[in-house]
Structure 1
Amino acid sequence: MSEIVVLFDGFSVMSGTDEMKANCSCTLIKGDHNIIVDTMTAWDSDRIVDALKKQNITPEQINYVVSTHGHSDHIGNNNLFLNAKHIVGFSISFKDIYYAHPFDKGEEYTINNSVKLIPTPGHTLSDVTVLVVSKDADIVAITGDLFEKYEDIENPNIWLEAGSDDPAEQFKNRCKVAKLADWIVPGHGQKFKVTEEMRELLGRQAGDKLSERNVK
């Protein structure tokens, strides 16, 4: 079992016609390994170090860095963690050594008994989601931008307008993750509990998208 600490909630708001103010959620997983998921922008290093200090952890004690995808607001402080193995989307590396893993074939990647990564392309073609078994035995999904925020459950335009390289895959993987998880930490909003009503709605949305694609 692992302890999950959301160090910072993500957010995204339009602040002008061609301008958006945004940053991603940053999450610490404490257990058999210390893992940080999504390291915010390059201007957030002091904030992250201070937040870790409050958890009695230094950057040198982080074993894994996971960036759910390679956008700049999710990888900005990866270089704080030089003792860690880094997983950025489908890419796994330590220093100049890269490790092959068939994420593109749908294979999950196990870090330990309570933490694994699954491929969830859509927002980008190499997105991953981190699934964690919490101390309460709940499954927490740290999804990056597969889910932008709670509000995008009822309004898919929120995540569609944020950008999706493959909307059909994203619909499908949103449904998949909701079936697996009790809680979701989205890329740009607060952690929320998954309800059966949400699962049913996401299933209908994925089914409608599949039907639309088949008609075409």
Structure 2
Amino acid sequence: MSSVVRTEPLRGAEPPWLVLGDPYSVVVLLQGYTEPEGPGPAVRADGSVTLVLPRSWAPASGRRAALSTADCAEAALEEAARGPVLVDTGGPWAREALLGALAGQGVAPADVALVVGTHGHSDHIGNLGLFPGAALLVSHDFCLPGGRYLPHGLREERPLRLGPGLEVWATPGHAGRRDVSVAVAGTERGTVVLAGDVFEREGDEDAWRALSEDPVAQERSRRRVLSTADVVVPGHGAPFKVVREASWAADAESCGDGRPEPRT
């Protein structure tokens, strides 16, 4: 008997969409979108922006202390993840919307301890300048405030651990070899994966390949996300559910290694 994986829209996930968890909660602050612009091929787009909040952090706790100047990237990342973590920042045209969404959660830009940019496109990292005091992990480049870069060894087979159940994964494909995603386990919805543009949106089979710099790698990244996530926050759409169902019939459609083809 094998399992079939499919995705479904998630009802009631309009931003700000809060998923409580221990030790981390997830808040989708801004929902990404892609819309046709006129009769030609132009589109108007912006990326999703998500906040990961440690249970131990509260606005009343005051401003965070300055990050250390540790030489170990792993230690610096774990230290930064004790405060609010922002995954992607949207485009610069969304600056005021981002500031308002953060304020709605009681978070000021100076509170943000770590910003993770899933990849280097302008609609995903266009507001980095709002967070000069935060550590930055943009694609695979990690630096402390002031531009002190530290190596970390992130690879597909070696995620970066930020805290219990909180990891950064190498999920290449959309923008080349250096895309990343953030996985948050232990929420009331199970494991939530903030996938950047590994998924454009739920049911994106008509779009993602045309936008991918490395479709083979991205297909591998999509399979990895679907094998673990209970909820996916895509780069340009609403969060969606991942549903796994046992199926005897799936055996006949399995891959050469005995695993079923994911259905999206």
* TM-score (normalised: structure 1): 0.86
1:86 aligns with 2:86: no
Q: 1:179 aligns with which of 202, 217, 227?
A: 227
Letter in 1 for 2:118: T
Shift of 1:110: 1.3
- Which runs of 5 or more residues in structure 1 are unaligned? 198-203, 209-216
Contact 2:26 2:51 in 1 (8 A): yes
Larger radius of gyration: 2
RMSD: 2.0
Partner of 1:159: 208
Give CA-to-partner distance per residue, 1:90-118, whole Å, 9 cap, x none: 11112221111222463211111131101
Letter in 1 for 2:206: N
Partner of 1:126: 178
* Structure 1 residue ranges, 4+ long, deviating more than 4 angstroms after superposition: 204-208
Partner of 2:160: 109
Give CA-to-partner distance per residue, 1:140-166, whole Å, 9 cap, x none: 0000000000021xxx231112x2111
Partner of 2:241: 193
Q: 2:44 aligns with which of 13, 17, 21?
A: 21
Partners of 1:131 and 1:23 lie apart in 2 by 21
Partner of 2:201: 149
Q: Matched residue of 1:178: which SS?
A: helix
Partners of 1:99 and 1:171 lie apart in 2 by 29
1:66 aligns with 2:131: no
Number of matched pairs: 198
Partner of 1:30: 53
Partners of 2:168 and 2:100 lie apart in 1 by 27
**Identity within the alignment, %:** 34
Shift in CA distance, 206/64, structure 1 to aligned 2, threshold 3 Å: farther
- Which runs of 5 or more residues in structure 2 are unaligned? 1-22, 55-81, 246-251, 257-264
Q: Matched residue of 1:141: which SS?
A: strand
Q: Matched residue of 2:169: which SS?
A: strand
Shift of 1:33: 2.5
Letter in 1 for 2:43: M
Letter in 2 for 1:41: G
Partners of 1:206 and 1:149 lie apart in 2 by 25
1:12 aligns with 2:34: yes
Partners of 1:74 and 1:40 lie apart in 2 by 4
Partners of 2:233 and 2:138 lie apart in 1 by 18
Contact 2:114 2:136 in 1 (8 A): yes
Letter in 2 for 1:159: W
Q: Matched residue of 2:99: which SS?
A: helix
Contact 1:172 1:206 in 2 (8 A): no
Partner of 1:213: none
Shift in CA distance, 142/104, structure 1 to aligned 2, threshold 3 Å: same
Partners of 2:92 and 2:51 lie apart in 1 by 18
Shift of 1:18: 2.7
Shift of 1:55: 0.5
Partners of 1:19 and 1:38 lie apart in 2 by 23
Whichever structure has more helix as a proportion of its residues is: 1
